[in-house]
Each structure stands twice: as C-alpha cells, then as structure tokens.
Amino acid sequence: MKGKTDKKQLAPLMKKSMLTVLGLSIALPFGGSLPQATADAGPEQVFIKGSVLNDRIVWLNNSSDNFDTGLTDIWVNHSEVSIDLSQHFPINYFKDFSASSDNPQVAQAYVSNNRLYVIPSKAGTVNIKLTARHAVSDEEVSDYIRLYVNKQGDVNNDGKVNSTDAVEILRYIRNEVVQRSSISNLRLNRLDVDRDGEVQWSDARILMEKYTIKQLGAENKNVVLTFEQATDAPYALNGKIMGDMNIGSVLTSRFEYYDFDNPTDAPGNTIYQWYRSSDAEGLNKTEIAQATTRDYTITSEDENKYLFLESTPFTSFGRKGNKLLIPASGSVTKDGLNDFIQSLSPPNGSVGVEVNGTIEVTYKKTLNPYAMDEFMIKELSSGNIVATYSGSQDYEIIGNKLIITLKNLLPNTSYSVEIPQHVIYVLNEDDLPTGAVSTGFQPGEVPWTFKTKEGEQSPP
C-alpha cells in the first residue's frame, strides 16, 4: 500500500468547516463536534473489509492481495483469515501445531490441518500464540504475532469514528506527517478508509459521507485487520553431547537454532556453561569453573559424576534466547564407556550417517561369534522397531567387533540401537565382568543414537 496525492494541489483547510473542505454541504467545526460512535459497539458478527496487511512478519506476505511464492499467503474469506503454518514451522522438524488468542472476545484463533484460522468479533488487539513441538526432541516452542482489529473509519484508533479521523487522513495527504515514508503498514491500513489499497483524498471524503448515512461507525460491521510481529526469543533445540564418558575424553555439543521472528537469520554468539552433578537429573548441579565453550575435557573431578551443558543462543542482533540444558549420557568412568564396551562407531549422537552403510560396536574382549540373540534398531521419536537382527546375514563378528549392516532406514531420521546384555558373549565366559551392560535406554545402559543423512532409503 502507498499514499499518493491527486495531481491537483490540495487547497488549504478552512477552519470554519471540515465538511465544507470535503465538498459536502454539512457544516462541522474543525476538531469535530459530530456525535461520536463507539468503534467496537455492535453485534459479534463482523466482516473483513479490503486487504489484510502484515507489518514486519518476515515469513508472511505483506498483504492478502500479494502472492509472493517465497512467502506464506494470507487467505481471507469474509469473516475469517487463514494462514499456512507448515513453512513457518517446517513439517520435517515440527509437529502438533496449535494456536490460542489472549482475548477470544476480540478474535478467536485455532489450528486445523496445519493452518492458522483467525475469526475476529469486534475491535481490539489480541496476541496470538502459535505453538509446535520438535519432531525429535518433543520440546515445545512458541511464536507470538499480534492482530489489530479496527472498525473501518477509526483511523486514529481512539475507539471512535468522527471528524478527527478525517483530519488524520488529510494531514497524511498534505505531507504533514513526520517521516511519512516510514509509516507502518498498520497505520496505512487504518488510513485507507475506502479500502482501495491507497491513501488519498477520497478516503477523507468517503469517511464523512458514509458516516452521515450510518455506513461507518457503531452500527457498521466492517473491520480492518493488520497482523504485526511480536518480539520473541530464539530457541536452542534438540541438543546433543557427543563423546565417551571417561576421564580424559573430549565432549562436544550441538543444537538446532531457531529464530521464528527471522527464520533465515544466522545465529549470533552462544553462551556455554558446563555443570557437574551427583544426581542424574542434575538437581544439585554446580558450575564447572572456566568451562564455558562448546567442548569440554573430562577431568578426574568428574569421576562418577553426571555432566550437563547449558547453552544460551543469541540472535545476530544480540537478543538473548531461551536456555537449553543438555545432559550427557551416563556418569563418568575412569577407563571407558563401561566395563565391557570400548567404543561406538558412529559415536552416540552422530548425524549424517549413511542409510546403506554399517555401524560397529567395539568391545574390550574377544567375542563368541556364534552366541547371538535378537537385537533391534528403533525410530527414536516413536519407539517403533524398524529393523531386527537375528542372523549372520544381518551382522558379522570379527574379534572384538560387532559389525551391523543397516536396513529399512529412512533419510534424515533419528534412530536408536538397542542391544540387550544377554545378546553378547565373550569367547571365554569367565571374562565377562559382573554387571556388564550393552547399548540401549534402560537404567545403567549406554545410549546409542544417530541421525541419517538426506538421501535414498536403505534397502530392506
């Protein structure tokens, strides 16, 4: 939307009569003694008039009349607005979309089939909360947008329709507004009374003409809608700590960064702080001095302790984000993952694993190649079994290594490998340590998860 003047230069306003300037025959003192109409009065059934505009929501088209293929469209149907959320919350990474309004008497908000629906009822302002859950970690995220519902003709947003609204239009047309070029879409949308997409002389005329015949004001059901960005903090999600939990090992971390206000903006600095705790839940955790980077080398002070990393993201503009506490897997031991397993390949929490490759567990003792039982790979978020292994065609034992051929895996998906203790036997059973564990998610076991890279599905 843009403001423009008629080609003919506008004559100066005459103080004696506003409506005389507008070319009407009704005299009205400048400043407005016209009986005022309450803008939000009337029934709870309203109609959306003209374009719905967007002010500073970068992922959304700036008008319901625009259809930029790189942005999400605003769809209007008489008394309802709908917006597709599947690009704002990418469906490969998020699920369970929902929405709510902090003032349902002004406008209701809900989600159906990944679309936001907004139904206005009367003039006012609402904050709409959009929520979703991360597809892998199940963490909830929120994004807020603001909606302004104005009666058509309530230009100055004072809750009334009168001659002062016409004055605002004329001030804009005559360039009496400071920094006119920077006026927001919100204000331009209110100024456009005749809803033709421009702010010009006819808007002031239409305002006064329609008011006098009661087509604007308290009895009128037409509303003007403008969406606006509310400032939200960025998120760190789906955090992982990679590395062996033994003294001397180096742990490193990663997380997924999301700034829903600016989805394409690169993240700024991140603040890191490592903690140690004697409790697996981290209830009594304490800061580790000078451990303030994404990497951490485990020391003797960490033996039998649980480690945690707190990550606080910032936007490139320096706005502080939501903190994420990431737990490391299991407690720290002196000499390895546990008394039986030496290493996992790929390491726990790895990403970009080939769906058609192999994975390996290296044990500390030589394995019996014939004593095997069934184990499995599960889809991490659902827990569904996607592959079972019970024969030599699916795995191979060479010395102290168990080599697993991947099958039935999808690209860009997280999985867990679960090998119960009774599956693995050493060549000499007397060498099996008491209480030895394998990989999985039961208490005391070593978790082993990975995420496949994008590409083709692995063969069955």
Distance CA 90, CA 84 (A): 11
Q: Tell me the two tokens of residue 29.
A: 């003192």
Q: Quote the CA–CA distance of 31 and 19 in Å, as a whole number.
A: 11
Last residue within a domain, chosen from 331, 360, 384: 331
- For residue range 43-93, list pLDDT tens digits in order: 467 999 989 999 999 999 999 999 888 899 999 998 999 999 999 999 999
d(CA 211, CA 215): 6
Q: Are residues 68 and 84 in the same domain?
A: yes
Q: What does the pLDDT read at residue 358?
A: 92
Residue 22 confidence (pLDDT): 43
372 & 295 share domain: no
| Rounded distance between C-alpha atoms, residue 217 and residue 213, angstroms | 10
Whether residue 458 lies inside any domain: the answer is no
Query: CA 20 → CA 26, 192, 206, 237, distances in Å?
Result: 7, 21, 14, 62
**Cα-based torsion angle of the residue sequence 49, 50, 56, 58 in order, rounded to the nearest 10 degrees:** 120
- Averaged pLDDT of the chain: 81
My answer on whether 34 and 96 are in the same domain is yes
For residue 199, tell me if it sits in a domain.
Answer: yes
Determine, yes or no, domain membership for 459: no
> Are 126 and 144 found together in one domain?
yes
**6, 100: one domain:** yes
> How is residue 423 written in tokens?
């599956």
Whether 81 and 201 map to the same domain: the answer is: yes
| Domain match, 391 and 327 both | no
SS3 content of the chain, % helix, strand, coil (to 5): 10, 40, 50
Structure tokens at 150: 């104005």
Spatial CA neighbour of 142 closest among 155, 156, 127: 127
Residues 161 and 113 in one domain: yes
The burial class, CB within 10 Å (0-12 / 13-18 / 19+), for 160 is buried
pTM above 0.75, yes or no: no
Q: Does 174 fall in a domain?
A: yes
Inside any domain, residue 142: yes
What pLDDT, on the 0 to 100 scale, is given for residue 138?
Answer: 93
Domain contains 166? yes
Query: Are the CB atoms for 269 and 255 separated by under 8 Å?
Result: no
Domain with residue 318: its CATH number is: 2.60.40.2700
Which residues of the chain fall short of a pLDDT of 50?
Answer: 1-38, 40-43, 335-337, 430-437, 443-444
Interior/surface letters 48-78, b for 16+ CB within 10 angstroms, e for the rest: bbbbbbbbbbebbbbbbeeeeeebbbbebee
Q: What is the pLDDT of residues 251-309, one digit of tens each?
A: 999 999 999 999 888 999 999 999 999 888 888 999 999 999 999 999 989 988 899 99
CA distance 404 to 415: 14
How many residues in the chain?
460
Which pLDDT does position 256 carry in this prediction? 94
Domain that holds residue 50: 2-229
Structurally, how many domains does the chain consist of? Answer: 3
Where among 229, 247, 268 does a domain terminate?
229
Q: Say yes or no: 240 and 345 in one domain.
A: no
Pair (199, 84) in one structural domain:
yes
Within a domain: residue 102? yes
In a domain, 280, yes or no: yes
Q: Are residues 128 and 28 in the same domain?
A: yes
CB proximity list for 10: less than 8 A, separation 6 or greater:
170, 173, 174, 201
Residues 17 and 139 placed together within one structural domain of the fold: yes
- Decide which of 186, 209, 229 is a domain's last residue: 229
Instruction: Identify the sign of the CA torsion 174, 180, 183, 189.
Output: positive
Q: Which two tokens stand for residue 367?
A: 């394995």
Whole-angstrom distance, CA of residue 270 vs CA of residue 335: 32
CB 451 within 8 A of CB 412: yes
Strand 414-418 to 449-452 pairing? antiparallel
E strand or H helix at 190: helix 185-191
